[in-house]
Structure 1
């Protein structure tokens, strides 16, 4: 069984994000970029499934700028077998919308024929949490979202989902889409020998036209602003004073 894992190039989660002075977007100048953490978890889970003999090949795919090759090489160094880069823009400020991404991924799925697609539940740059669900709808495949545990049993995937009330376990018929959550696993670090080997692994380059997808945006960002600064707290000497201040606020 092939496993397809989409990965996205985002601002590294350790970086303090700054908004441009004109409010037109996020400042990306000289900012460290890395793989979306949720996608990293998806790559790790695919590798573990291969180590168990369940998966035969892991394909990682990224959609965006040419620089996303670095992100794909990281996934290859972790243990993925080959990569596909769909160059959809040459502007690092352009974020391809989830529906366009889902349509492109659907084209890759039809071309590659995986039995399972493992996605991060969301990207930490836009927090859309939509691509996996849209891909499921486009393909007509089963889906399991917010996955914290995953087990493949024949042609069924048993998925434990994190929901507001706790945990929910469902069985979905494969082929399926799974969007993974933080508690599924802890991704491995790529070793130096594997980083060197990753340079020789195949990385194919495509464009949206290869899949007949129009990626023209449907949305436009009107303004980007930083969150309001948090007001300083005050000390209270009693519960009654705390309640009184709360009622005034």
Structure 2
């Protein structure tokens, strides 16, 4: 099975993140950038499928040159190689443009299965799997907590707030996963050394036949117009009970529109 795993480099959610003053986008140059956490579970799932049934696992990343660091980290877990879509014109791309670029790269890779995290920790819009499935004409099995492969048939336990749904589809398909699906492996020293020699193919917009003016900030369908820092937390309101505490509490909640 030919498996492609989408990997995104994102600012570390555990560290402070800031927005740029000139274009209101995340200041990635000043951030500690890491592999999107959910994508690590997608990588692990791909490797387990490979170990069970053979095939090839390829990492696909769209991002600036520094995203190569996350690609090598991903490869150290075990995948066979990677494709890095990088172009200065991609900076500021919206989800629609991103899905167009990734779909173009995926057509060249011709995967049986596309795996990705259910969401990214920077955008958290959860739309990329659906957009890619639509563009590629594939089934979308999203929010998986369990994935089973039987020949050309995929069965997914789709995680919901009430429990889970069982969904099936034939390959090729796009599957997004939650962090309940497995436990990602730690790269071994051997894996880290091997990752340095694994092939990473760099692809530009011109290689994919996509005009630069149709992606990036210039071609974005949405934009952040302004931003401001979260205000400092103020002191709370104390309601002293002098026999009418309950009434005063309800009045306060009403002014805050909680009741």
Q: Same fold (TM over 0.5)?
A: yes
The match for 2:227 is 224
Q: SS of the residue aligned with 2:76?
A: helix
The match for 1:61 is 60
Residue 101 of structure 1, CA deviation: 2.4
Residue 103 of structure 1, CA deviation: 2.2
Contact preservation (8 Å) 1:147, 1:180: yes
* Cα distance between partner residues in 2 of 1:232 and 1:96: 40
User: Normalised by the size of structure 2, how large is the TM-score?
Assistant: 0.85
* Cα distance between partner residues in 2 of 1:27 and 1:104: 22
Measured against aligned partners, the alpha-carbon deviations of 1:63-118 in whole angstroms (never above 9, x if no partner) come to 12111111110110011110011112278xx2432222222222232222211000
Structure 2 vs 1, CA of residues 176 and 228 (structure 1 numbering), >3 Å: closer, same or farther? farther
Structure 2 vs 1, CA of residues 20 and 41 (structure 1 numbering), >3 Å: closer, same or farther? same
Contact preservation (8 Å) 1:23, 1:225: no
Structure 2 vs 1, CA of residues 90 and 190 (structure 1 numbering), >3 Å: closer, same or farther? farther
Contact preservation (8 Å) 2:148, 2:155: yes
Structure 2 vs 1, CA of residues 209 and 23 (structure 1 numbering), >3 Å: closer, same or farther? closer
The match for 2:131 is 134
Structure 2 vs 1, CA of residues 142 and 22 (structure 1 numbering), >3 Å: closer, same or farther? closer
1:246 aligns with 2:253: yes
* Cα distance between partner residues in 1 of 2:133 and 2:11: 27
Q: SS of the residue aligned with 1:122?
A: coil
Whichever of the two has the greater Rg, that structure is 2
The match for 2:84 is 85
Residue 30 of structure 1, CA deviation: 3.7
Between 80-89 and 235-244, the greater mean CA deviation after superposition: 235-244
* Cα distance between partner residues in 2 of 1:23 and 1:100: 18
Structure 2 vs 1, CA of residues 232 and 183 (structure 1 numbering), >3 Å: closer, same or farther? farther
The match for 2:43 is 43
* Cα distance between partner residues in 1 of 2:160 and 2:234: 32
The match for 2:167 is 170
The match for 2:75 is 76
* Cα distance between partner residues in 2 of 1:88 and 1:203: 15
Contact preservation (8 Å) 1:19, 1:226: no
- Unaligned 5+ segments in structure 1 are none
The match for 2:28 is 28
Contact preservation (8 Å) 2:25, 2:92: no
Residue 123 of structure 1, CA deviation: 1.6
Structure 2 vs 1, CA of residues 213 and 226 (structure 1 numbering), >3 Å: closer, same or farther? same
Contact preservation (8 Å) 1:76, 1:198: yes
Contact preservation (8 Å) 2:84, 2:202: yes
User: What is the root-mean-square deviation in Å for CA atoms of aligned residues?
Assistant: 2.3
Residue 9 of structure 1, CA deviation: 1.0
* Cα distance between partner residues in 1 of 2:6 and 2:83: 9
